[in-house]
Amino acid sequence: MGSYIFARAIRYIKQTVRVQTDDVRDGSALYLMMMHLLALAVFYI
């Protein structure tokens, strides 16, 4: 179960990175990616 959540999260982050290339003008995409990484860290602490 944990590995499934991890794989889904990685796929989601990859999509976010792809979107970030379009929204690079404002830092919101980068901020969203940082929030996703923080959420992942909370999962495994």
pTM score, two decimals? 0.37
- Average pLDDT on 23-45 reads 73
pLDDT at 38 over 80: yes
- Please give the structure tokens belonging to residue 10: 């990685």
User: For the packed helices 28-44 and 2-20, what is the interaxial angle rounded to 10 degrees?
Assistant: 170
Contact present, 16 and 29 (Cβ < 8 Å): yes
pLDDT at 23 over 70: no
- Please give the structure tokens belonging to residue 29: 């995409």
Position 44: which residue type? Y
pLDDT at 17 over 60: yes
